A and B are shown apart, each in its own frame.
Chain A
Amino acid sequence: MRRVVVTGLGLVTPLADGVEKSWERILDAQSGAGPITHFDPEGFGTTYACEVPYGDGTDGTFDAAKYMAPKDQRKVDTFILFAMAAAQQAVEDAGWTPESDEDLERTGVLTGSGIGGLNSIAETAVMMKEKGPRRVSPFFVPGALINLISGQIAIKYGFKGPNHAVVTACSTGAHAIGDATQLIKAGRADVMIAGGAEATICEIGIAGFNACKALSTKRADDPKGASRPYDEDRDGFVMGEGAGMVVLEDYDHAVARGAKIYAEVLGYGLTGDAYHITAPSEDGEGGERSMRMALKDAGLEPADIDYINAHGTSTMADTIELGAVERMMGDAASKVTMSSTKSATGHLLGAAGAIEAIFSILAIRDQVAPPTINLDNPAVETAIDLAPNAKVEREINVALSNSFGFGGTNASVLFGKVS
């Protein structure tokens, strides 16, 4: 069986543009939340979010021109722009810029987004209503389609291997990484770019999730304290935006070219709840089976897990996941550290699984578990260390990243240290 390793990372998050800056701020317990600036949120139930910090590129700000010429930016929705930025970082980090037909044909792309070009669709619909159908741009459709992340990355770098996309709401990023790993294991490709992107901090995005009663609404005076997984006073998730991309590679291929190896993808689990359109099953059995499937895939036991990057969205569902993890861990619960980095980044929906996979990989690299910030009054007692408000330096050989999405779709990806 082929082994699959991670050789490149790319991140655009509400904390910063770039992997190291985002990670440094996560470990420093910073929050990426603030008042919404992308539109005037007056009259909306939620007026704050975790926006990507735009700027001139200094101090971790996001300078779009570094990644896409202004004339090309106009042709894509923002989720694709974020994806292209993260992909560029990951490809450069991996040092994988092949030129031969054979190498290009053995390199594929598998990415996704939860909702894709939601803002473009909404704005175009309004514009068409006002000005008529002849004003709809020819770039509207290819700029809003979710699989155009994979298409754009392939066009930019010439990658001609499998070109695929995932759409599984908040599990998208994790499924993309898991599925891409399977393609390499099955011999369909040697290298895969995988991840997710999202940009739904827009009027219809906030209004839509407000209508589902999913978003935090009570912290307009303290946005940085709004995302508080496991805390008694949590009142919904805080919307985030950005992208995470990894370069996955056949182990022998990576070794042969002398690539830097961050971690190995040890296992992958995916299940369905068959329960409700937005709520997880009450006992979290779908998530538990997903985690167990990933362990079985890796040939590991629950006690082998050192760190879990939880789905933990700062909603009522946090304790359901926690219960599932407690059942799975059994007597080993007191030895695992589990945190929700959504406390700092907000919930990036289709990008969440990808950025959190990267935080799990960095936890292995640096032997440190990132904190769950704003965890002042835990809602439940647990033997599991939730890393409240401060990072935990500890041995981390195996890390698990969980993602659960609307529709009852669960994904768990298990990463391990490569010695």
Chain B
Amino acid sequence: MSDVADRVRKIVVEHLGVEEDKVVEGASFIDDLGADSLDTVELVMAFEEEFGIEIPDDAAETIQTFGDATKFISEAA
């Protein structure tokens, strides 16, 4: 789990240009981390690439926060 969280956090920091300590469990990509809708599409693509998984569009729409992402990826990977 912590490995997944670290890797997801690294991607979020890199793509959104935010401080690492802002990327907490409940942090919303759009409301708290300054992402727009295109950023979230790209984030999901980056997760797919990093973890070698496929995240269907309907599932991607449920990934709103850092916690959502780590939970989904941990279960899928």
Contact = CB atoms under 8 A, between A and B. Distances in A.
A and B interact: yes
Contacts of A134: 45, 48, 54
B16 interface: yes
A136 B49 CA distance: 12
Contacts of B26: none
Contacts of B42: 137-139
B38 interface: yes
Contacts of B49: 135
A183 to B, nearest CB: 30
Contacts of B45: 134-135, 137
Nearest to B14: A71
Interface string B37-57: 010011001001100001000
Interface string B11-45: 00011110000000000000000000010011001
A180 B42 CA distance: 36
Interface residues of A, number: 11
Majority secondary structure of chain B interface residues (helix, strand, loop or mixed): helix
Contacts of A72: 17
A114 to B, nearest CB: 26
B16 A138 contact: no
A143 B45 CA distance: 17
Contact of A138 (B14, B41, B54): B41
Interface string A60-74: 000000000111101
Contacts of B41: 138
A84 B42 CA distance: 23
Nearest to A141: B38
Interface string A130-162: 000011011100100000000000000000000
Majority secondary structure of chain A interface residues (helix, strand, loop or mixed): helix
Interface string A76-89: 00000000000000
A162 B45 CA distance: 35
A71 B38 CA distance: 13
A69 B13 CA distance: 13
A134 to B, nearest CB: 7
A210 B49 CA distance: 36
B17 A69 contact: yes
Contacts of A137: 42, 45
A233 to B, nearest CB: 49
B38 A139 contact: yes
Contacts of B54: 134
A142 B38 CA distance: 10
Interface in B47-74: 48-49, 54
A265 B38 CA distance: 40
B76 to A, nearest CB: 15
Contacts of A139: 38, 42
Question: 7 nearest interchain CB pairs?
Answer: A71-B17, A138-B38, A138-B41, A138-B42, A69-B17, A137-B42, A139-B38
14 contacts: A69-B17, A70-B17, A71-B14, A71-B16, A72-B17, A74-B15, A134-B54, A135-B45, A135-B49, A137-B42, A137-B45, A138-B38, A138-B41, A142-B38
Interface of B: 14-17, 38, 41-42, 45, 48-49, 54
Given A134-B48, A138-B41, 6 more contacts: A71-B15, A71-B17, A134-B45, A137-B45, A138-B38, A142-B38
